[in-house]
Amino acid sequence: MGALSFCFFVFWVSQVGFGQQTTDPKEVDALNKLIDYWNLRDKLNIIDDPCIQNATWAYEKANPRVACDCSGNTCHITHLKIYALDISGEIPSELFVLKELMDLNLGQNVLNGSIPAEIEQLSNMQYLSLGINNFTGPVPPELGNLTKLIILSFSSNNFVGPLPTSLGKLTSLQELYIDSSGVSGPIPQEFANLKSLQILWASDNQFTGKLPDFFGTLTELRTLRLQGTLLEGPIPNSFSALNKLEDLRIGDLSGEDSSLEFLQNQRTLSILILRNCLLSGKIPDQLGEFSKLQELDLSFNKLTGQIPESFQDLVALQYLYLGSNNLNGQLPANILGPKMIAIDVSFNPLSGSLPQNFAKAGLSMNAVGTSIDANNLQDKKASGMLQCLQADFKCSNKVPSKSFSVKCGGTGQTSASGVEYEGDFESMGSASLYTSSENLWAVSNTGNFISNPNGPQYIAQTGSQITGTLDSELYKTARISPSSLRYYGLGLRNGIYSVELHFAEIGMVDSNSWKGLGRRIFDIYIQGERVLKDFNIKEAAGGSKKALIKTFEANVTNTIMDIHFFWAGKGTCCIPYQSTYGPLVSAIHVSRASDAAGSSKRDKKRIGKLIGISVACVAGLVIISSVFYLWWIKEDSPKHKRIYTDSPRK
């Protein structure tokens, strides 16, 4: 009986062992080394087999996550997620022992170094996310050997050099995220092979050359983002074949003008942004047939003609941006559809009256720089003064001012140096204008944060102390904008002015976390002249929450100062949270420095008359006055070229 019992025991043990496979010991060893290398033992302390049934780390929402395939005699690790846990260091060789990996998510960490060529050993990979890290070096061409890839992301890194042509072999790829990755050069022709591609995010890279014509052959595309690059127009007519597009964002093109002729069959579009693309010609009437369109942005272009009457049929439209074009005529009477939230038609030679229902609740509208009768929309005096921004409209002010100071996004305060900053805490919309109580200055905002989890906010604030200044409170609030933020000095005496712009990065943090990897980049124009390109507050100040003052001189010749903060599509979009980008300014102080050229001429003319009288009276005084006059001219001649008030053109 003893021998028979022992046999039954051995059979039972063998059955139990058969029912619970073990994981490849090489993979177990490699996984444990990865856990220790990335200091994850407190979050993923796997003592037993990592592929045991019902393991807490195997559930889809687990993070870290390890999941396996045990369909064969041996279990293999197929899923590894270490997401937003701030792991640091490089990618160790042990990772490539996990050759059955299908899904690897290392996104939102602070990994550095280059991506090893050995990554090609993970030949079963379908989902690979390396985005928001500190990876450097070239994008490895070996990625092109992962031909089973469906989703690939390496956005928001610091790669250098061109995209490898081998990525064109990823014919199963459906989603590609390479925005803000640091790559440069032409977009490879081999990308024409990516016929399955549905989503491409490629903004904020140093791409050069023409906007590729072959994009028109990627007919499965639903989302295409190409803003803030060095690509040149025109937008190819081949794009007319992209009739599955739902979200198209192209911006900041140089080179040749583009037209809107390619917009023929994109009836599925809900977001259409073609901002700063050198668009010329008329807006086609068929745009009014895009019934799903929710946001339309054609601003900062060279469009002419009238706004189509068909725009009255865009019943789903919420945001309409047509500012800084050459559109004329009147606004269609019923352009404000039932869902309209914001409309910007600023800086166009438009005329006529406001739409019939402009006063509807929840609507914001900006008509600055037009001839539209907007007295019912904004302060009458401010409206008149802002007409001076039109090139053919000459203005003067009976009681001119010599300065204005604004605390952007906060309540008024007096600085340590005695400057009184007026508060600017008015709640603004996606296309709005606010004028100060005494009409000394105004501010306009254009744009909306499409994916902001905190809703439509245009003021940033912090409770932290700001270093490098005696006026910490001055920098604890700021105006922010997703597109275009402009401050105007109103009714100024013509002359040369000193312009102080105060900044502190309070939206992006300094830390060793992935949350510290964000880059805010924008341009600044004063009187239409770009004074700063690709400005990064955090970089210029040496960190976040550090005060920074930039000082410029500008010439006022028509009573208006125009300070324009402009987002040109560059910088990260989503660090530390979605929709963290665009211009930010803490305070503005503008004060008169000297007379402008026109003022000097008037003064010289007056002195000339006095000299003439002196000549008639006393010959000796003529000589003395003449000597004085010549000396005065030499000392008072302006040394600053005229600055115009054109909108930014690239």
pLDDT tens digits, one per residue of 118-167: 999 999 999 999 999 999 999 999 999 999 999 999 999 999 999 999 99
Distance CA 63, CA 83 (A): 7
CATH H superfamily, domain 403-592: Galactose-binding lectin (2.60.120.430)
pLDDT at 343: 95
- C-alpha angle 75-78-81 in degrees, rounded to nearest 5: 130
Contact 304, 433 (CB under 8 A): no
pLDDT at 394: 73
Q: Which of 45, 113, 43, 118 is nearest to 84 (CA)?
A: 43
Query: Which amino acid is located at 107 in the chain?
Result: G
Asked if pLDDT for residue 389 goes beyond 90, the answer is no
Q: Which of 565, 605, 599 is nearest to 583 (CA)?
A: 565
| Residue bearing tokens 């010289």 | 604
Residue 251's CB is within 10 A of a number of other CB atoms, namely 25
Pairwise pLDDT comparison (533 vs 370), residue with the higher score:
533
pLDDT tens digits, one per residue of 429-459: 899 999 998 889 999 999 999 887 677 789 9
Q: List the structure tokens of 494.
A: 């013509």
| Residue bearing tokens 């994850």 | 40
Asked if pLDDT for residue 17 goes beyond 50, the answer is no
pLDDT at 398: 65
Kindly list the distances between the CA atom of residue 26 and the CA atoms of 99, 105, 609, in Å, as whole numbers in the listed order: 11, 21, 98
Mean of per-residue pLDDT scores for the chain = 87
pLDDT tens digits, one per residue of 341-369: 999 999 999 999 888 777 777 889 999 88
Asked if pLDDT for residue 15 goes beyond 70, the answer is no
Q: Given pLDDT bands bounded at 50, 70 and 90, which one contains residue 48?
A: confident
pLDDT at 395: 73
pLDDT at 638: 30
Contact 585, 477 (CB under 8 A): no
Average pLDDT over residues 205-228: 98
- Please check whether the domain covering 281-378 is classified as CATH 3.80.10.10: yes
Distance CA 53, CA 44 (A): 16
> Is the CA virtual torsion 462, 464, 465, 466 positive or negative?
negative
DSSP E strand boundaries for 86-220? 88-89, 103-105, 110-113, 127-129, 134-135, 151-153, 175-177, 184-185, 199-201, 206-207
Q: Given pLDDT bands bounded at 50, 70 and 90, which one contains residue 13?
A: very low
Per mean pLDDT, which of 232-236, 400-404, 624-628 is the most reliable?
Answer: 232-236
Average pLDDT over residues 219-241: 97
pLDDT tens digits, one per residue of 452-505: 767 778 999 999 999 999 999 999 999 999 999 999 999 999 999 999 999 999
Pairwise pLDDT comparison (326 vs 640), residue with the higher score:
326
Name residue 401's beta-bridge partners. 492
- Rounded to two decimals, the pTM is 0.87
Query: Which amino acid is located at 539 in the chain?
Result: E
Asked if pLDDT for residue 597 goes beyond 50, the answer is no
Query: Which amino acid is located at 411 in the chain?
Result: T
pLDDT at 618: 37
Burial class (CB in 10 A: 0-12, 13-18, 19+), 641: exposed
| Buried-state track 524-554, b at ≥16 Cβ within 10 A, e below 16 | bbbbbbebbeebbbbeebeebbbbbebebeb
Q: Which of 359, 360, 306, 358 is nearest to 329 (CA)?
A: 306
Contact 282, 326 (CB under 8 A): no
DSSP E strand boundaries for 512-547? 522-526, 529-535
Kindly list the distances between the CA atom of residue 51 and the CA atoms of 96, 106, 185, in Å, as whole numbers in the listed order: 18, 20, 44
Pinpoint the alpha helices (H) of 126-261.
Answer: none
Asked if pLDDT for residue 8 goes beyond 80, the answer is no
| Buried-state track 444-477, b at ≥16 Cβ within 10 A, e below 16 | bbbbbbbeeeeeeebbbebeeebeebebeebbbb
Contact 307, 322 (CB under 8 A): yes
**Angular region, 362: left φ>0, alpha ψ -120 to 50, beta rest:** left
- What residue segments make up the domains of the chain, in order of their start? 281-378, 403-592
pLDDT at 373: 81
pLDDT at 156: 98
pLDDT at 381: 53
Asked if pLDDT for residue 382 goes beyond 80, the answer is no
**Beta 587-595 vs 495-503: how paired, if at all?**
antiparallel
Secondary element (H or E) of residue 459? strand 459-461
Q: Given pLDDT bands bounded at 50, 70 and 90, which one contains residue 378?
A: low
Q: Given pLDDT bands bounded at 50, 70 and 90, which one contains residue 640?
A: very low
